[in-house]
Amino acid sequence: MKFFDQVYAFVREIALGKVTTYGKIAKALGTKDARKVGWALHANSDPKTPCHRVVDRTGRVAPNFARLQRFERSDCGQAFDGWEEQKRRLETEGVTFIDDMHVDLKEHLWHRP
Partner DNA sequence: CACCTGACAAATT
Partner DNA sequence: TAATTTGCCAGGT
**Residues with active-site annotation:** 51
Binding mask 68-107 for DNA (x = CB under 7 A): x--x--xxx--xx---------------------------
**What is the size of the binding site for DNA (CB under 7 A)?**
34
Between 15 and 31, CB nearer to DNA: 31
Of 13, 16, 47, 57, the one binding DNA (CB under 7 A) is: 57
9 sits near DNA (criterion: CB under 7 A): no
CA 1 vs CA 7, 20, 88, 113: distances in Å: 10, 22, 33, 23
The secondary structure element, H or E, covering residue 54 is strand 54-55
- How far out from the chain centre does Cα 109 lie? 11
Based on the number of CB atoms within 10 Å of its own CB, is 30 exposed (0-12), middle (13-18) or buried (19 or more)?
A: exposed
Least Cβ distance, residue 87 to DNA (angstroms): 14
The C-alpha atoms of residue 56 and residue 54 are separated, in whole angstroms, by: 7
Of 8, 10, 22, 110, the one binding DNA (CB under 7 A) is: 22
The C-alpha atoms of residue 39 and residue 61 are separated, in whole angstroms, by: 15
For DNA, the binding residues (CB under 7 A) are: 2-4, 21-23, 26, 31-39, 41-44, 51, 54, 56-58, 64-65, 68, 71, 74-76, 79-80
